[in-house]
Amino acid sequence: MHKVLAVDNDLLFLDFIRDLLEENGHLVETAQDGISALNALETFTPDIIFLDLIMPNIDGKKLCKIIRRMEHLNNTRIIILSAAAKEESFEASELGVESIIAKGPLEHMTEDILSVLEQTLRPAPFSPSGHVAVTGDIHQRRITSELLSTKKHFEQILERMTEGILEITSDRRIVYANRIAGALVGLPEEDLLGIDFLNLFSLKDRLRIQERLKENFQEGEGSYSEETLALKEYLVTVDLLEIHQDERKHIIILNNVTERKKLEKSIIQSERLAATGQLAASIAHQINSPLQGITALLTVMKENRKDDPDLTENIRLLEGAFKSIRNTVRRLLNVSRPGQEGKRPVNIHEIIKDIVALVSTHLRQTGIKIHLNFYKESIYLTASPQQLEHVFLNLINNAIEAITVEDRRSTNLCTGEITISTELKKDLLVIEISDSGPGIPEDALNHVFDAFYTSKGDLGMGVGLSVCRAIIVEQKGTIEVRNTAGSGSTFRISLPLKL
Ligand SMILES: Nc1ncnc2c1ncn2[C@@H]1O[C@H](COP(=O)(O)OP(=O)(O)OP(=O)(O)O)[C@@H](O)[C@H]1O
Ligand SMILES: [Mg+2]
């Protein structure tokens, strides 16, 4: 006795084959479509599967591919029983099947089925290599070949669509997936077929889709939504179209909106940045006006009270302090108006060295070492020196902050290092600033350039990197960050040598 699974959507045929095989002493289970066959195979391990090619809910060819990936069915032989044996051309090796029997009138088939079954069950090892001969009379019918060609035509259109297309049954099992759907999910079609469509999404999103599917079932209309859901690394919108009200089947359209969302985000960011810039400019302006008045008054006081050396000295100190406030305010104005300040040829190595000199006391206090790995020759660039200084100052300060936070957590001693390197790549100047800090958590990598993103609580404003990016973008360059293998992060700035 052998265990047999017969899969066919023709009930008459299923009855026929069950009676025939049971009479011959075999144990027979039946399934009417691909999904029911997969369900049966979860608990039943047949020696032989008789499989129809053209069936609803996962056709025979696809089912073969899925079965051939199931380890527990390694010893199971597959026999194709098909009315379209002639019209559907395929190689046995492609599907891993043992034999193909052409379906004809039932009374002619008893012999074909029994003889193929006997051959198949012979102990010779099976090796699906090359073409398998078709047993039985072939009844070529025009209608079959026309239907098959129409089916192929539509499949080709679906395959070439830019949207991901899935078809699901009433219990949400996937029975069709086009190429793009597979790419979005990161799985080949064979792995997608038969699984619950909801499992592709996160727990949170599953509930929402379930809700929409339920409404669809009740109202029978399509459900379109602009809401974006995460699918692996992509963002998609999901349209649900009911195609068969009785069978409650759905076509799912997945639109990949990842790029569009990125673009929208960067527009919002630059708007936010512009608003920040305006705010900074108006604050700078308001501080500047009274400052000018105070400085003028101090000068007058100094002139009038030359006889009081203590007061004169205090006034001198005050003047120094106000000068420093004025400088800060002026910088604020410059930064908030990228592109406004005059550009001139600047030596990039000199600019970096100036900034390193500026932070050298701080570096000495913290014990952090800085290495400069400069390109062998001087590199000149037409840019605003103040703005470039601002970029390097921000990046070095961030690196110092990252290293000191990390070190304080472990040893109280700073052993960190910062390396700044420059290189020429064709027409690009590439500057890398690496630190030995803790690096940036994966989920934050996409956000560090967002205005107001900070992990430093009240100690950070979260504008440093967004301003750096605005300056670099204005200079037609790019700035990106990655975590360095080992530890720390590396910021890479690429600037065109000629604007
Ligand atoms: N070198 C670095 N190592 C680790 N994390 C970093 C580094 N540079 C930036 N970050 C992360 O990026 C976030 C944003 O940096 P950004 O300079 O924009 O703002 P901030 O330093 O928090 O505040 P501020 O506006 O005062 O500069 C930081 O809060 C930190 O989480
Ligand atoms: Mg910062």
Residues 94, 204 within the same domain: no
Q: Which ligand is nearest to the CA of 453?
A: 1
Does residue 401 fall inside a structural domain?
A: yes
Q: Which of 139, 170, 202 is the C-terminal boundary of a domain?
A: 139
Does residue 146 fall inside a structural domain?
A: no
Which tokens go with 161?
């669509």
Mutate to test the pocket of ligand 1, among 332, 391, 465, 483 (most ligand atoms within 8 A of CB): 465
Residues 25, 68 within the same domain: yes
Which atom of ligand 1 lies closest to the CA of 461? 25
Q: Domain of 361?
A: 344-496
Q: Which of 336, 356, 379 is the C-terminal boundary of a domain?
A: 336
Residues 127, 165 within the same domain: no
* Residue 164, pLDDT score: 92
Does residue 269 fall inside a structural domain?
A: no
Residues 417, 456 within the same domain: yes
* Residue 204, pLDDT score: 85
* Residue 316, pLDDT score: 87
Q: How far is the CA of 398 from the centre of ligand 2 (A)?
A: 5
Which tokens go with 166?
């899935």
- Total count of domains within the chain: 4
CB distance 169 to 57 below 8 Å: yes
Residues 323, 351 within the same domain: no
CATH classification of the domain holding 390: 3.30.565.10
CATH classification of the domain holding 176: 3.30.450.20
Does residue 154 fall inside a structural domain?
A: no
Does residue 417 fall inside a structural domain?
A: yes
How far is residue 344's CA from residue 57's CA, in Å, rounded to a whole number? Answer: 68
Mutate to test the pocket of ligand 1, among 448, 450, 468 (most ligand atoms within 8 A of CB): 448
Does residue 272 fall inside a structural domain?
A: no
How far is residue 82's CA from residue 79's CA, in Å, rounded to a whole number? Answer: 10
Which amino acid belongs to residue 62?
K
Q: Which ligand is nearest to the CA of 433?
A: 1
Q: What is the mean pLDDT of each run of 10 residues along the chain (499 residues)?
A: 90 90 92 90 91 84 85 86 69 73 79 82 56 57 66 82 88 89 88 90 87 76 80 88 74 90 78 74 77 84 87 88 81 59 87 89 87 96 88 93 72 78 95 95 91 84 85 92 90 92
Alpha helices in 136-250 (DSSP H): 142-160, 179-185, 189-192, 203-219
Does residue 156 fall inside a structural domain?
A: no
Strands 77-82 and 99-102: parallel
Q: How far is the CA of 497 from the centre of ligand 1 (A)?
A: 27
* Residue 400, pLDDT score: 92
Question: 279 by DSSP, 3-state: which?
Answer: helix
Q: How far is the CA of 479 from the centre of ligand 2 (A)?
A: 15
* Residue 414, pLDDT score: 67
Residues 199, 224 within the same domain: yes
Strands 228-231 and 174-177: unpaired
Q: How far is the CA of 460 from the centre of ligand 2 (A)?
A: 7
Q: Which of 336, 362, 385 is the C-terminal boundary of a domain?
A: 336
Which atom of ligand 1 lies closest to the CA of 466? 18
* Residue 129, pLDDT score: 45
How far is residue 365's CA from residue 367's CA, in Å, rounded to a whole number? Answer: 6
Residues 122, 178 within the same domain: no
CB neighbour class for 122 (10 Å; exposed up to 12, middle 13-18, buried from 19): exposed
Furthest C-alpha separation in the chain? 129
Does residue 428 fall inside a structural domain?
A: yes
Q: How far is the CA of 395 from the centre of ligand 2 (A)?
A: 7
Question: Residue with structure tokens 């809700």?
Answer: 211
Residues 350, 487 within the same domain: yes
Q: Which ligand is nearest to the CA of 460?
A: 1
Residues 325, 247 within the same domain: no
Residues 351, 487 within the same domain: yes
- Protein residue with its CA nearest to atom 31 in ligand 1: 455
Residues 373, 492 within the same domain: yes
Over the range 210-233, which residues count as b (16 or more CB within 10 Å of their CB) and which as e?
eebbeebeeeeeebeeeebbebee
- Protein residue with its CA nearest to atom 5 in ligand 1: 440
Q: How far is the CA of 399 from the centre of ligand 2 (A)?
A: 8
Residues 208, 312 within the same domain: no
User: Residues with Cβ within 6 A of ligand 1?
Assistant: 394, 398-399, 402, 435, 437, 440, 448, 453-456, 460-466, 489
